[in-house]
Structure 1
Amino acid sequence: MKKEVKAKGKKLVSMLLVFVLAFALVGCGKEKPADNAGKNNAGTKENAAESPDSGSADSNFNQTGMPIAKEPVTLKVLTTRWGNMGDSFAKNEFLTDLEAKSNVKIEWQVKSLNDWNEQKGIMLASGELPDIIFGFQTFNDSDIMNNLDLFLPLNELISKYMPNYSKALEEMPDLKKLTTFPDGNMYSMGKNLPLRPTACNQPIINKKWLDNLGLQVPTTLDELYNVLKAFKDKDANGNGDPNDEIPISGAKGLSMDLLNSFGITDINGYKVMVNSDNSLTYYPASEAYKEGIKWLNKLYSEGIIDKEAFTQDDSMLSAKRQDPDVARVGFEYAWTPDSNFGKWSSEYEVIAPIKGYDGKQYTGGDPNGVSSIMRNEVLITKYCQNPEVAARWVDEFYTGEASIQNFWGGIGTVIAKHDDGTYTLNDPPAGTSADAWYWDSSLRDFGPKYVSKEFEKKIILSSNSGDGLKVTLSKIAEGTITTPYPNVMFTNEENEERPTITTDIDKYVESTRAHWITEGGIDKGWDEYVKQLNTMGLEELMKIYQEAYDRYSKQ
């Protein structure tokens, strides 16, 4: 019934959009033949969808070598960007060189993610799409699976025309797992980013405060408690005021990384952990979570945790971290100190994971690299009149040299290529951060790319800042990275059912967590809490997660 209502609603929206468009065209004095519906500038949707490799017989198409097209072919490529970043990336040396040698001209359509959700709904309902879609933020799994009639299955195109990407899938089985949809087809292509840290957020402490108080770097939960207590009670920052130090703070809640020492990590946000036997645990209903919340309540009740941690927003937290007069926050989890503490970042250092009461260390992360492997980076739509040209053009992105240029910037501008075959990053222009420069000069996190482990050896990054610093700091956590619940592919039915369960459960978990940390009482309320979770559908939710994980593991 849900599917039928959803389908009717979608059809009604499409009909209304077509009616409005037709009315507008009549009002402008223009006519559009009825049998032209479904066409774009390149031809009919039906013709393009019938045979993905029909263009192989086209005398204008070269199956190998350059140019890809003997006479110029134009492709429309849509991508999304953060805020108002614009299309400056299109001047990237790799992109301009590829256009010149391939004879494939690109008409970029750049949309801001600020209002993309509204725009994409209209676009999908109208059924009018460009030839190629770039970026995992543009269309997600549900967008694709609910509109499969708009996207080409890519298996055959990949095997026939994409040797670079085919090699990537062979070298990295997880990339193929992640990009295979429940029906066995690949409707999107993925990426693998270069030199990503394996650890996500790590413990960062104000080393100057430790030195001021004559304290050692904490290694266990008990040692951490003693250090934080000293930060709270003494003049750790040395400004003469023993009351302005904040050992731990947060914005609209606390980072769940504070529970890492209890064996709880969750970099993908599912609230699920993978056990050694491949079974799953919903950690907010686990004994480890219960003990971790009790520990946080102890810190809160003794004033170690900022009383405003659950009410202040990010801007208020940032003002405390970067107080112009003195460093005020003592300990937290983050990528790097400079990302949070500004002018005071030199006082902070990343330390080894804090040992839990079981004597073990745990760090949230991914052995393949955090956010390294992603799907839905490239889609070819059924409106594409030249899918084989599109496939060959996209395949050019899946070499090491192409990928680093589409992650950092072009060779000759952002990247320096040396005679020994190595690559380094140039310094950004004065007044510009390295990260901003990379986003301005490349597709950065979005779009196709693949860097093999062998090619990574040729890339030399600075260990003092940016991506290189993240990799360097990540090494302190080697051997402690937990196995994350992967970004599995859910079926349409699972995608419909899962939000109906998680919406209420997530709110309940967050509200009880805040209450137990600030007010206590978890032992008394625990059994009723678990019972309520099951009433809300936790068992059904875990069944969905387990089945999706089993499908992923068997691929």
Structure 2
Amino acid sequence: MKRKLVAVLLLAAMSVTSLAGCGSDGGSGNDAESSRGGSEADDAGDADDAGDADDAGDAADGESSAEAAEVDADGKVNGIMYAEGLPIVDEGAYTFSIFCDDSSSTGEFYMLNEFEKQTNVKVDLQIFANENATEKMNLALNSGDYADVIGGWILDDSKILTYGVEQGVFIPLEDIFAQYCPRIMEILDLPGVREKMTAPDGHIYTIPYVCGDTSVGYSPFINGRWLENVNMEMPTTTEEFEAVLTAFKEQDANGNGDATDEIPFSADPNNKHLEAMTGYFGLPMDKTGFGLKDEQVVYAAMSSEYRQCLSWLSGMYAKGLIDQEIFTQDSATWEGKGNKDMYGVSIAYGSSEFSGIPQSPEKSEFDVMPVLNTDKGGIWLRDTPGNSVYRTQAVITDKAEHPEIIARWFDNAFELENGIGCNRGPVGVVTFKEEGTDQYRAIDVNTLDAETQEKVGWSNLWPQSLPKFLPIGYKFLEDNPNYDEKKAVETTYEPNLTKEVIPSSWIDQDDVEMYSEYASAIRDYFSQNQARFISGEQDVNDDAVWEEYKAGFEGLGLDEYLRIKGVETIAE
């Protein structure tokens, strides 16, 4: 009955607000948002489900996730897995499948091949672009035809609660970790990690992904060469920003002789973060509609500040200052246009993601665009306190014949030199142990031949949506390090960041079923209407339309959703 009720409420809200037309942002539908972990983290995960888990660190009642197993005369568990050391199994003895979202220019991942050599475990990788991976995952889960491991930015707390706690499709892993995974146990024992990883029923359902992280994930980057070409200064207010975009549109900003091929402003299709610009109007917020007002968590999707931001963005969209495909293009299109020098400004994790300009020791032509309107209270939401625990990055399903082998395979991936390989480049190719020390020196990948560069390029090292590990704060020795653009972002933004981050905690187990329904409907409604307001399909400046939009949240059960999340205030 609960499921039917929410479905009816969703249909009612859709009829009130006329939800046909523009689609959602093409993103992940994921709390952690297509962020990348470690120093590359988009990342950067969005705030997740508020409300403390009861007795999170305690063992749960019920069956253990790992049955006691004897080691035979060959040193094998269950006749297949060596209890200690490498390889984990005999050659050809075990294959498991991984479904995840990610991208690679070659479709090959260097470290996956290395791990097969080390472990004799073969991986059947089923990889999809983020734009359609969520739909494919949902279809697989609903049909019962899913992989041994599901991972990536497409998972979120709701999925863990539904398919783990409620249905048992995702299996508990803490006992397997305790028996076979010493490195994972060390990670779980880091401060705060076990508590955050432990679901409300006391089980741990996921492989931990713990990394140092940036305080600012996604932000706008502006082309300094274009600014010079149109004789404009770095904008500091929303009015100046709009004036710069207008100059980009009307003049030959990219200098190619064609004054009509410039696109002033765009954003990563999977991580647009347009609502983040509400911080320019005094209320920093995240992609799920929550914000911080006076450092207190509020629901900001109906606030006057958000409406003001939408009105500003809608006006610029109508003038052609915003990419007209911003709500419909995929990542390849966004990157393709950026590689053709068509973007003056784009929101991204890093400018190289869309510009086609590789990272190098020198700063590229793209600059960090500062927080706007700081003289009027403009502020940006702090993404992390400097490190992140991604608790929804990889699960083992009940399809896995030998989950203990899979857990040990990940445990081996977290060994130091393997972690170095996944994060920076394979030892002996890109990274080298400094003689007589425990440190590793990283060389400039650009000094390698073209074929090797492609093989060990960052996106081809490891599916970057899957867990990897380096000790927090790990530093490489470098002779000629790349320009640290993320450090420049942090330095620029720090004076105008919120002091706090939106907290991330599990919800109460009693609310699991209804929360999953509410969260999906409300978040979809928020993102879909954002696209319609900005594109002009709905007039954000029409009071009647705005009131209908607000009423739609009530029809979807917003009050109950906020009660479950422990948020008391709806910003007006």
The two structures have a TM-score, normalised by structure 1, of: 0.69
Matched, 1:185 2:203: yes
Q: 1:450 to 1:263 in 2, by over 3 A?
A: farther
The residue that corresponds to 1:367 in the other structure is 385
CA distance in 1: counterparts of 2:248 and 2:426, whole angstroms: 46
- Please say if 1:495 is aligned against 2:516: yes
**What 5-or-longer segments of structure 2 have no aligned partner?**
6-62
Amino acid at match of 2:428: G
CA distance in 2, matches of 1:470, 1:495: 34
Equivalent-residue separation in structure 1 for 2:208 and 2:368 (angstroms)? 32
Matched residue, 1:331: 345
Match of 2:310 among 293, 303, 312: 293
Shift of 1:522: 4.5
Q: What is the Cα deviation at residue 51 of structure 1? A: 7.1
**Whole-Å Cα distance in 2 between the matches of residues 249 and 319 of structure 1?**
12
- Tell me the residue number matched to 1:438: 458
When residues 444 and 306 of structure 1 are mapped into structure 2, their CA distance, relative to the original with a 3 A threshold, is: closer
What's 2:227 paired with?
210
In the TM superposition, what is the alpha-carbon distance from 1:492 to its structure 2 partner? 3.1
SS at match of 1:198: coil
1:68-88 deviation digits (Å, cap 9, x = unpaired): 879889444321354786565
The alpha carbon displacement at 1:161 in A equals 4.1
- What is aligned with 2:367? 349
Take 1:256 and 1:200, find their aligned partners in 2: how far apart are those partners? 14
Q: Which amino acid aligns with 2:458?
A: Y
CA distance in 2, matches of 1:51, 1:254: 39
Tell whether 2:315 aligns with 1:305.
no
| 2:536 counterpart residue number | 515
> Do the aligned residues in 2 keep the contact of 1:259 with 1:292 (CA within 8 Å)?
yes
| Whole-Å separation in 2 of the counterparts to 1:322 and 1:444 | 22
Which whole-Å CA distance do the structure 1 matches of 2:391 and 2:566 have between them? 21
- Superposition deviation, residue 186 in structure 1: 0.5
The residue number in structure 1 matching 2:566 is: 546
**Does the CA contact (< 8 Å) of 1:204 and 1:334 recur in 2?**
yes
2:281 is matched with which residue? 262
**Structure 1 counterpart of 2:417, which letter?**
E
How far residue 190 of structure 1 moved from its aligned partner, in angstroms, is 1.5
Q: CA 1:65–1:458 in 2, change beyond 3 Å: closer, same or farther?
A: farther
Counterpart mapping for 1:34-113 below 5 A = 52-55=66-69, 60=75, 66=85, 74-80=93-99, 82=102, 88-89=109-110, 92-93=113-114, 96-97=117-118, 99=119, 105-113=120-128
What does residue range 181-260 of structure 1 map to in structure 2 within 5 Å?
Answer: 181-193=199-211, 196-232=213-249, 236-237=253-254, 245-249=262-266, 255-260=274-279
Match of 2:298 among 251, 264, 280: 280
| 1:107 maps to amino acid | K
CA contact (8 A) 2:99 2:147 kept: no
- Tell me how far apart the structure 2 counterparts of residues 407 and 109 of structure 1 sit (CA, whole Å): 21
Cα distance, 1:372 vs. partner? 6.5
Q: Pick closer, same or farther for the CA change 1:350–1:390 going to 2, 3 Å.
A: closer
Shift in Å, 1:271: 1.8
Alignment equivalent of 2:194, drawn from 156, 160, 176: 176
Matches within 5 A, 1:364-443: 365-368=383-386, 373-379=390-396, 381=398, 384=401, 387=404, 391-419=407-435, 420=437, 421-425=439-443, 427=445, 429-430=449-450, 437-443=457-463
- CA shift for structure 1 position 484: 4.9
SS in 1 for 2:264: coil
| Conservation of the 8 A alpha-carbon contact between 1:192 and 1:450 | yes
Q: Hey, which of these two has a bigger chunk of helix by percent? A: 1
Question: What is the aligned partner in structure 2 of residue 28 from structure 1?
Answer: none
Could you tell me how far apart the structure 1 residues matched to 2:342 and 2:400 are?
Answer: 56
**How far did residue 205 of structure 1 move?**
2.0
Q: Which has the higher mean CA deviation after the structures are superposed, 145-154 or 405-414?
A: 145-154
CA spacing shift, 1:399–1:505, aligned 2, 3 Å: same
The answer to whether the 8 Å contact 2:210/2:469 transfers is yes
Task: Report how far residue 181 of structure 1 moved.
Answer: 1.5
Classify 1:178/1:423 alpha carbon distance in 2 versus 1 (closer, same or farther; 3 Å).
farther
Partner of 2:346, secondary structure, is: strand
CA offsets, 1:376-411, max 9 Å, x none?
Answer: 425374854573x65555433334333222334431
Amino acid at match of 1:156: D
Provide the residue aligned with 2:38 in structure 1.
none
**Alignment check: 8 A CA contact 1:250 1:310 kept:** yes
Residue of structure 2 equivalent to 1:27: none
CA distance in 1, matches of 2:356, 2:304: 38
Q: How far is 1:242 from its partner?
A: 6.3
RMSD (Å) for aligned C-alpha atoms: 4.6
8 Å Cα contact 2:65-2:173 kept in structure 1: no
Number of equivalenced pairs: 483
TM-score by length of 2: 0.68
The 3 A distance-change label for structure 1 pair 149 and 337 is closer
Match of residue 154, structure 1, among 173, 190, 195? 173
Q: Which residue of 1 aligns with 2:43?
A: none
Deviations 1:143-182 (A, max 9, x none): 6327744554223333444332222223241x33442222
SS of the residue corresponding to residue 356 of structure 2 reads helix
Aligned AA (2:210): N
Change over 3 Å in CA distance of 1:460–1:184 after alignment to 2: farther
Q: CA distance change for structure 1 residues 189 and 309 in 2, over 3 Å: closer, same or farther? A: closer
| Structure 2 CA distance for aligned equivalents of residues 548 and 415 of structure 1 | 50
Distance 1:375 1:237, change over 3 A: closer
Cα 1:524–1:504 change in 2 (3 A) is: closer
Residues 321 and 412 (structure 1 numbering): CA distance in 2 closer, same or farther, change over 3 Å? closer
Whichever residue aligns with residue 208 of structure 1, its letter is R
Deviation per CA, 1:288-344, whole angstroms, max 9, x where unpaired?
11222233345456x362483568745776665455xxx554333223333223379
Alpha carbons of structure 1 residues 407 and 207: separation in structure 2 relative to 1, 3 Å:
closer
- Inter-CA distance 238–380: structure 2 relative to 1 (3 Å threshold): closer
* Percent identical: 20
